[in-house]
């Protein structure tokens, strides 16, 4: 497939997600369009302008710690240019950061890269001593949910109850997450739920950079195996880690980001909602966007 067709396909997919209008060719010649130059496209069919895609959808990895500002697409909402009678999907937010971390080597001897199931990843996590968090943990918390889940929820790290049970998002915050998912008609059992780090940080402190770096390959492998239609990053640590950015949660909300091509929605962590009920409304807005990405 030529680069032009690949870019066109990417553009159309982005248009679909953002609810943008398709570009319909008129009968007359279209500026910049040479008949026959793009195999498979014909007058009257949906045709993307290729150039803007290359400018708005960065595909290369970000340098850790680098400012992602130049990777953001214009903050213009596609809904603003729509005529009256626009589809409901035009309410989706604009695209944001795109992050494509190094992929696994298929021929690697690394057991994690050879792990072919979520259970295999969990088995590796259960004996992991790659960072200091192994020292005080009760149980590892690799994550839970079906291997074909359409949505992956990513939090920060296990708390006390999670450390005792080996399950993610249990206790009060977990109950709230279950309610949030039920409100968008998504039973918890159909979602893969996990954290950035798989062992509890002492006193529930925020995981440190080297701990996150040591644990990230497990999360990346889990996402690779599940191949979800969308990822819901709950809390600043999950969002900044998945998107490789230092931007605040507030700045990252209300955009559709991408992680290895998978749409990522950023919202508040349920534990934060318990402390600040005023964030429930924006969280509801975020999860509804995530829900629409699944259909």
Nearest to 234 by CA among 181, 162, 189: 181
Smallest gap from Cβ 141 to ligand SF4, in A, equals: 9
In 105-213 the beta strands, taken as DSSP E runs, fall at 151-155, 191-195
Q: How many CA atoms lie within 13 A of 15 on its CB side?
A: 18
Q: How far is the CB of 113 from ligand SF4 (least distance, A)?
A: 16
Stretch 1-20: interaction string toward ligand SF4, x if CB under 6 A: --------------------
Query: Which residue, 5 or 139, is less far from ligand SF4 as judged by CB?
Result: 139
Q: Output the smallest distance, CB 198 to ligand SF4, in A.
A: 4
**Selected binder of ligand SF4 within 53, 152, 214, 242 (CB under 6 A):** 214
From the CB of residue 81, how many other CB atoms can be counted at a distance below 10 Å? 11
Q: How far is the CB of 283 from ligand SF4 (least distance, A)?
A: 26
User: What percentage of the chain's residues is helix, strand, coil (to nearest 5)?
Assistant: 45, 10, 45
**Kind and range of the H or E run holding 250:** helix 249-252
Closer to ligand SF4 by Cβ: residue 136 or 183 = 136
Subset of residues 147 to 206 that bind ligand SF4, contact rule: CB under 6 A: 197-199
Compute the least distance from the CB of residue 125 to ligand SF4, in Å. Answer: 5
User: Min. distance of Cβ 6 from ligand SF4 in angstroms?
Assistant: 36
Asked if 215 is part of the footprint of ligand SF4 (rule: CB under 6 A), the reply reads yes
How far apart are CB 105 and ligand SF4 at their closest, in Å? 19
Interface with ligand SF4 includes 234 (CB under 6 A)? no
Nearest CB to ligand SF4, comparing residues 152 and 214 = 214
How far apart (Å, rounded) are the C-alpha atoms in residues 289 and 280?
14
In angstroms, give the least distance from the CB of 101 to ligand SF4.
16
**Of the candidates 164, 147, 140, the residue with the CA atom closest to the CA atom of residue 225:** 147
152 CB contacts (<8 Å, ≥6 apart)? 145, 191, 192, 193, 194, 222, 223, 226, 228, 230, 231, 232
C-alpha closest to that of 223 among 263, 173, 178: 263
Which residues face 195 on adjacent strands?
Answer: 155
Nearer to ligand SF4 by Cβ, of 130 and 260: the residue is 130
Number of residues that bind ligand SF4 (CB under 6 A): 14
Q: Using the rule CB under 6 A, is 238 a contact of ligand SF4? A: no
Nearer to ligand SF4, 81 or 129 (CB): 129
Query: What sign for the dihedral angle of Cα 65, 67, 71, 77?
Result: positive
One symbol per residue from 105 to 144: x for binding ligand SF4 (CB under 6 A), - otherwise; what is it? --------------------x--xxxx-xx-----x----
Largest CA distance in the chain: 70
| Residues in contact with ligand SF4 by the rule CB under 6 A | 125, 128-131, 133-134, 140, 197-199, 211, 214-215
């Amino acid at each position: 497939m030529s680069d032009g067709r690949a870019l066109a396909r990417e553009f159309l997919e982005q248009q679909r997600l953002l609810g943008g209008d398709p570009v319909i060719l008129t009968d007359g010649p279209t500026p910049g369009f040479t008949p026959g130059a793009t195999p498979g496209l014909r007058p009257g069919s949906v045709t993307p302008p290729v150039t803007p895609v290359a400018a708005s959808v960065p595909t290369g990895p970000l340098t850790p710690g680098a400012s992602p500002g130049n990777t953001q697409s214009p903050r213009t909402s596609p809904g603003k240019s729509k005529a009256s009678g626009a589809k409901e999907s035009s309410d989706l937010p604009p695209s944001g950061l795109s992050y494509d971390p190094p992929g696994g080597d298929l021929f690697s001897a690394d057991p994690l890269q050879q792990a072919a199931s979520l259970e295999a990843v969990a088995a590796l996590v259960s004996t992991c001593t790659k960072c200091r968090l192994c020292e005080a943990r009760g149980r590892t918390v690799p994550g839970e949910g079906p291997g074909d889940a359409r949505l992956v929820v990513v939090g920060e790290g296990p708390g006390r109850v999670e450390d005792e049970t080996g399950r993610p998002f249990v206790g009060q915050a977990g109950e709230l997450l279950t309610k949030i998912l039920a409100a968008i008609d998504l039973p918890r059992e159909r979602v893969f739920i996990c954290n950035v780090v798989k062992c509890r940080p002492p006193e529930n402190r925020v995981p440190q950079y080297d701990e996150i770096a040591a644990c990230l390959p497990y999360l990346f492998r889990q996402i690779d195996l599940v191949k979800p239609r969308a990822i819901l990053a709950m809390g600043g640590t999950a969002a900044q880690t998945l998107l490789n950015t230092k931007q605040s949660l507030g700045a990252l909300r209300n955009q559709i980001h991408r992680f290895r091509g998978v749409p990522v929605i950023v919202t508040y962590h349920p534990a934060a909602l318990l402390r600040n009920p005023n964030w429930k409304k924006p969280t509801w807005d975020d999860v509804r966007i995530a829900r629409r990405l699944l259909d």
